[in-house]
Structure 1
């Protein structure tokens, strides 16, 4: 069983990932700015540093997974374009609905969506 600081594994968007990274940074900064009064405070800081590194690793993995999901949703659209076919509306909608796609991918999907609207 893996430790998860946030209680759930679902990070649904890059904005949520950035918010969680900011939370980790704030928690670490607060802890490091507290003066060490005794041995137990030192041990507490050590545990805090280790757990923040674990949380950062989890957030890094969540970012990698989100980008992989974006590539997976964008791949059928690229495949259709390579075959010089119009992608179906579901594929375009899937790309537009995915918050992890990058701006370039999103602009391609928007252009294809507008083309589909003009055809009907």
Structure 2
């Protein structure tokens, strides 16, 4: 928008419904990385800290378990709890260890509804 349409960062932020800080960050990155390909310019920059320990494939396997009622896995409950779900994914060998809070945080970000597997 800034380059092709001549819009200001403020106009762009209002049109897209995002903060001026985000527009400024991406505009600066676009200019600073002018020699990179478009794909490289649009990717997030590397982040500090250790990489994730659970792969996307493992998260998919965990979500597949979440989509089935706990009773199918021998639990006498109608809805998954973080504790029971953590026990099951470890029992199945998907991962060696996971904290209940990490699992719950992930599910919350996915808008996982604990009642859906039981109610259909």
TM-score, normalized by length of structure 1?
0.28
Q: Which has the higher contact order (CA 8 A, sep 6+)?
A: 1
TM-score, normalized by length of structure 2?
0.28
